[in-house]
Structure 1
Amino acid sequence: MSTIPPMSEKLRSVIWCIRPEFAEINEILRLGLKDLDDYDTEIHELQSRILYTNLRKKRLEEHLEKLRSLKAPIRKLPNELLLHIFMFCCNQDELHQGFGRPKLNALAISAVCARWRDLAESRPSLWCSLSVVLSSSEEEFEESEHAIVAMLKYYLAHSKDWQLSLDINADVWWEEAEGIDHPALVLLASQSHCWRDLSFN
């Protein structure tokens, strides 16, 4: 019965494999390929377990972080003191159309948690001091025009007819408007009975 020499010798040999060895080589190849498939399956299972374990770890970390936040000193402050801090932060919110970064402190405060939202919405004076910057009335600014009007409506709804302090800058828009009424100005004009201070540039 013939035996297959060591692989290193077979690879160095210039003699072709004899035919009786082919069947044995094919069987070894078949078994080897099966082992490779088994390894791939095992690796995939291990990777899935690692992914699942990392997900559980992340969820636990998030849960622990939320628990830690319950111990935050700011949660011990009474509502009256929190509102005083909010008033200091909301001296004047800024709404920009098309350019610039808006400063929406009242909106940001109301988005922190349910308690802060309830407090912010209960105090109309947080929403009544606004700086409004209007840009060109050209077509590319239509989307931002709708956005600033929507935000104005949101602020006016929360101000609940409280006296408004407005600083309006419409230089860029006014130069190109050609007599067109800006919807934000129309909206603010409809609230003229609530104006306390008005600055128009």
Structure 2
Amino acid sequence: MGLPNEDGCPPPYPGRHEHLITSNEPPHADEEGFFRDQSWKRVPVWRSSMQRSELCKRMPPEILADIFSWTLPPMNELRGDVSDLETSPWVLTQVCSRWRDISLSTPSLWCNIAAVYGGKRGEFPDPRPEMVQTQVERSGAQNLMIQFHASESHDPAEQVALFQVLASHSARWEQISIQVAAALVPHLAQLRGRVPAIQRIWLQWDTKDSEIGADSIDCFEIAPSLLDMGTFIESQYIPIVFPADQLTAY
């Protein structure tokens, strides 16, 4: 129902009123006075709304940063679309300049990184290396929580290149869930002795073919902070060396 007029009666164009305020259609000449009056009556409401907006703008950046942290998707829900501009934290940088400044100055918002090559080619968006690199840079010196899931059905060179980007920051890895494809196996060795902060590891293989050529995995043998280790191997036995005596969960 339309807004009432000055004497409390319904407006002369109830259905048309709703139509006009939700479209770009101009009012007829005999309707202009009515809509002008109604617009003036809405001014106090608009001013009140603007005042509330101003209060939000004065909210301390520390509180906004804490609120932003609750918009991040859980690690177990991250997929290849984590670099989608419509997901948090990326979307926070597009709302206004203040939100962008706060988001970019809060490294903890950028620590959850997913590079997931999942399903058949084209089923999910592939990770975008330039955005993964940007996210690593924005995380500053914070420790990183990473999902890297390789796939036999995707370009091996592209996956190895992106893994190398993440491996260059392995000293900051705190958690990693890694799914191994055959092309990735030779590149795991570079992690040996370079994961001092890692606390939790999950390691699995994409397919049975991924296990071919992997005699053993010892890249996590030197991991002084490791507490939780999980693995899944579908077919053949592959020795995985890690500091079992310090684990609290396996």
| TM-score normalised over the length of structure 1 | 0.52
1:88 aligns with 2:70: yes
Are 2:129 and 1:149 aligned?
yes
Change (3 A) 1:154 1:104: farther
Equivalent pair of 2:113/2:147 in contact (CA under 8 Å): yes
Q: Aligned residues: percent identity?
A: 24
Q: Which residue pairs with 2:60 in the alignment?
A: 78
1:114-151 deviations in whole A, cap 9, x for unaligned? 1111111111111001232114797x79xx65x61011
Structure 1: runs of 5 or more not aligned: 1-49, 51-64
Question: 1:70 and 1:166, CA in 2 relative to 1: closer, same or farther beyond 3 A?
Answer: farther
Is 2:92 the partner of 1:109? yes
1:115-154 superposed matches below 5 A: 115-135=98-118, 145=126, 148-154=128-134
Report SS of the residue matched to 1:167.
Answer: strand
Tell me the distance in 2 between the aligned counterparts of 1:191 and 1:136.
27
Unaligned runs of 5+ in 2: 1-25, 27-45, 180-250
- Which residue identity is paired with 2:153? E
Aligned residues: 137
Q: What secondary structure is seen at the aligned counterpart in 2 of 1:105?
A: coil
Q: Contact between 1:92 and 1:131, CA under 8 Å: does it hold in 2?
A: no
**Counterpart of 2:139 in structure 1: which amino acid?**
S
> Secondary structure of 1:197's match?
strand
The structure in which a higher percent of residues are helix is 1
Distance between the aligned counterparts of 1:198 and 1:82, measured in 2?
Answer: 28
1:109 partner SS = helix
Q: Distance in 2 between matches of 1:137 and 1:84?
A: 37
Q: Equivalents in 2 of 1:102, 1:135: separation in Å?
A: 19
Equivalent runs, 1:8-27 vs 2, <5 Å? none
Q: CA RMSD in A?
A: 4.0
Contact 1:95 1:148 in 2 (8 A): no
- Quote the Cα distance in structure 1 between the aligned partners of 2:102 and 2:62: 9
**Which whole-Å CA distance do the structure 1 matches of 2:105 and 2:95 have between them?**
15
TM-score (norm 2): 0.43
Q: Distance in 2 between matches of 1:95 and 1:69?
A: 36
**Shift in alpha-carbon separation, 1:179–1:86, aligned structure 2, 3 A:** closer
Alpha-carbon separation, structure 2, partners of 1:192 and 1:102? 25
The structure with higher relative contact order (CA 8 Å, sep 6+) is 1
Greater C-alpha radius of gyration: 1
